[in-house]
Amino acid sequence: EAQVTQNPRYLITVTGKKLTVTCSQNMNHEYMSWYRQDPGLGLRQIYYSMNVEVTDKGDVPEGYKVSRKEKRNFPLILESPSPNQTSLYFCASSLSSGTGGAGGTQYFGPGTRLLVL
Amino acid sequence: KNEVEQSPQNLTAQEGEFITINCSYSVGISALHWLQQHPGGGIVSLFMLSSGKKKHGRLIATINIQEKHSSLHITASHPRDSAVYICAGKNYGGSQGNLIFGKGTKLSVKP
């Protein structure tokens, strides 16, 4: 089954304790992206990757890191989480066809709900 | 400043009604997505379009790139259409990977 998986689905942590949220897709998609969703602010893009070893900042990259060593995986790293990073996080992927990159149909993971105390 | 504006923010309809959700953007967009977020939180892509009109079942999406406007229509609405609908634009001339989102329209369809 074609899918995007995220782990963990729920996480409670404390300020400053490094954490990684994994994202994996089995559709051989070139493009992958991370978003956060907050009440009243909607979805905002954190980082994206056009292909292996190619990453770029979205609109809210501060406090986050990413890497794309393999095509299927795009982990999101919070080196020193703070309470303002409490949010619902989504990973998505798409083929870079047609208009390319973010222009392809987006496939979303199920979301990771993070609480930073 | 949100460069992608959706209206209305909230919408309540009776089953069977024709529904329209609008999306306007202040920057040039080369492609626009319509997404549906279920009450459980999952997000699915409904349409991606860069011109004209697309139809899938009871859903129709239109876009006018020159007027910087897109609409999502639902015909013969049903309670299972209750969800948040989100439009997102890919910047024209900007980074290939950047997506800008509207804040969503919460639709509730009453039986």
Tens-digit pLDDT profile for residues A75-88: 999 999 999 999 99
pLDDT at A94 exceeding the cut of 60: yes
Question: Are A40 and B35 an interchain contact pair (Cβ–Cβ within 8 Å)?
Answer: no
From B33, B41, B103, residue closest to A106, measured CB to CB: B33
Average pLDDT over residues A54-76: 96
**pLDDT recorded at residue A99:** 53
Residues of A with CB under 8 A from a CB of B: 31, 33, 35, 40-45, 48-50, 56, 58-59, 88, 90, 92, 96, 98-108, 110-111
Which band of pLDDT confidence, cut at 50, 70 and 90, is reported for residue A102?
A: low
Question: Are A111 and B45 an interchain contact pair (Cβ–Cβ within 8 Å)?
Answer: no
**pLDDT recorded at residue B75:** 97
Report the candidate in B51, B2, B47 with the shortest Cα–Cα distance to residue B21. Answer: B47
Q: Does B88 touch chain A (CB under 8 A)?
A: yes
B33 to chain A, minimum CA–CA distance in Å? 8
B43 to chain A, minimum CA–CA distance in Å? 6
Q: Using alpha carbons only, what angle is made at residue A35 by residues A32 and A37, rounded to the nearest 5 degrees?
A: 155
Q: Which residues from chain B sit within 8 angstroms of residue A104, using beta carbons?
A: 48
CA distance B34 to A17: 36
CA distance A47 to B90: 14
A42 to chain B, minimum CA–CA distance in Å? 5
Q: Looking at residue A103, what DSSP letter applies?
A: G
Question: Are A58 and B104 an interchain contact pair (Cβ–Cβ within 8 Å)?
Answer: no
Count the neighbouring beta carbons within 10 Å of the beta carbon of residue B81.
18
**What is the token pair recorded at B69?**
């406007």
Tell me the DSSP string of B47-73.
EEESSEEEEETTEEEEEETTTTEEEEE
> Could you read off the pLDDT tens digit of each residue along chain B, which spans 111 residues?
558 999 999 999 999 999 999 999 887 778 899 999 998 889 999 999 888 999 999 999 999 988 889 999 999 999 999 999 999 988 766 667 788 899 999 999 999
Question: Are A50 and B96 an interchain contact pair (Cβ–Cβ within 8 Å)?
Answer: yes
Q: Looking at residue A23, what DSSP letter applies?
A: E
Q: Does B33 touch chain A (CB under 8 A)?
A: yes
Which amino acid does the sequence have at A15?
A: T
Q: Are strands B105-110 and B10-14 parallel, antiparallel or unpaired?
A: parallel
Which band of pLDDT confidence, cut at 50, 70 and 90, is reported for residue A100?
A: low
